[in-house]
Structure 1
């Protein structure tokens, strides 16, 4: 049933999703070039609201749960599992008051309406995976911006998408680098569920009638824990939530 509905609804989803990307590309340009960061961020927030709820065209449900009072006056490192590209819009929208930034492949800064513009000018880190020196340098710059502006960063610690929903071991490197630059950052795990099922069949058909879930888990204070211990604690918390 889900796959059958997907054949019918996927074209509508892609048309809706693509239309929002096309509409907001010039809006982002105007906001950034004429009015600066704050206006640009608002345009990105609204874009990602529409991208998030484009899932309704597939009859997919959106559930975001956060029972924690997270601070806005200190940097946060959100550590999440990664299941599909559709993880990202909801994180940007629902965590918007924390100014979430991402560590992305530099190749994505070109050729994708709206998304490439935001990656290029939104304040995240765009890394060349073939150049470790450049990658570390970009993450350090991001950490400095987090310190200066109390921004947050979202890190998909598996390093790549778990296409079957089964979590891969979390990597420590990027988080450890950020913690050196932002030692007072709060670590917050975020569990993502069922996003992988949307693209279970590839790009067509997308699956319908899925309960998509994002759950903010208990924050982790650094204390005297090492980066390895912090990441393992976040990994175990997410595993417990999603049952993987």
Structure 2
């Protein structure tokens, strides 16, 4: 039945999603050009709250649980498992107080209303996966901006989306690069559940009546430890929360 309702409700969701992207393209441009970073960020936060609301047009709902007392005067590297593109709007919206930036493929900086513009001017890192030197440079610049502005970032260390919700092995290279420029950053794992179910039938139809869950887990201090060790700890905490088997040591 979820798939049947998906055929009916997916077009409504996509129309609303697309209209929001189109409407907020000029809004973002005006905010950034006329009023600068903070106004632009505020417009992006509103956009992503509304994009999240379009999930409800499918009968889906979103829960974001953050019982952690996270500092807003310190950079944070939010480390999350990755399930679909529908992970992203709720994270941008709910992590707004920490100025969370994303690492994106450079191809996304062209051709997508609102999204491409935000990637260009929003302060994140846009990497070319075919050019390791460019990727490292972008991550170093992001780490420097985090340190200078007390910004944060969201990283999906799996490197690709999980199609079945099972967490893949985390890679530490990106986090290690950022920590070189922002060594005092706090590591905060986020466990994502059921976002993969929205696209379990592909991009059409989208699944309906799913419950997407985002849970912020206790922070991890780096304390000059190797990035690989810290990332493995974050991976273990996420898997433990999701009830998935831990990789053998």
TM-score by length of 2: 0.97
Aligned equivalent of 1:168:
168
Q: What corresponds to 2:223 in structure 1?
A: 223
SS at match of 1:86: helix
The aligned counterpart of 1:192 is: 192
Q: How does 1:77-156 map to 2 (within 5 A)?
A: 77-156=77-156
Question: Residue 2 of structure 2 corresponds to which residue in structure 1?
Answer: 2
Q: Which residue of 1 aligns with 2:38?
A: 38
- 2:14 corresponds in structure 1 to 14
Q: Deviations over 1:140-195 (max 9, x none)?
A: 00001000010000000100100121111000000011111111000000011000
Structure 1 counterpart of 2:178 = 178
Q: Structure 1: which 5+ residue stretches go unaligned?
A: none
Which whole-Å CA distance do the structure 2 matches of 1:161 and 1:201 have between them?
Answer: 15
- What CA distance in whole angstroms lies between the structure 2 residues aligned with 1:116 and 1:224? 35
Match of 2:236 in 1: 236
Secondary structure of the corresponding residue to residue 85 of structure 2: coil
Distance 1:3 1:43 in 2: 33
1:237 alignment partner, SS class: helix
What's the CA shift string for 1:30-64, capped at 9, x where partnerless?
A: 00111110000000000000001110000101100
Q: Give the TM-score, by structure 1 length.
A: 0.99
Q: What SS does structure 1 have at the residue aligned with 2:140?
A: helix
* Deviation, structure 1 residue 4: 1.2
Separation of aligned partners in 1, 2:121 and 2:140: 17
How far has the Cα of 1:225 moved from its partner?
Answer: 2.3
Cα distance in 2 between the residues matched to 1:51 and 1:219: 28
Could you tell me how far apart the structure 2 residues matched to 1:243 and 1:8 are? 34
- What RMSD in Å do the two structures reach over aligned CA positions? 0.7
Q: How many residues are aligned here?
A: 244
CA distance in 1, matches of 2:62, 2:135: 33
- Residue equivalent to 1:64: 64
Aligned partners of 2:136, 2:204: CA distance in 1, in Å?
36
| Unpaired runs of at least 5, structure 2 | 245-249
* CA shift for structure 1 position 71: 0.5
Q: Which ranges of 4 or more aligned residues in structure 1 deviate by more than 4 Å? A: none
Distance 1:61 1:51 in 2: 12
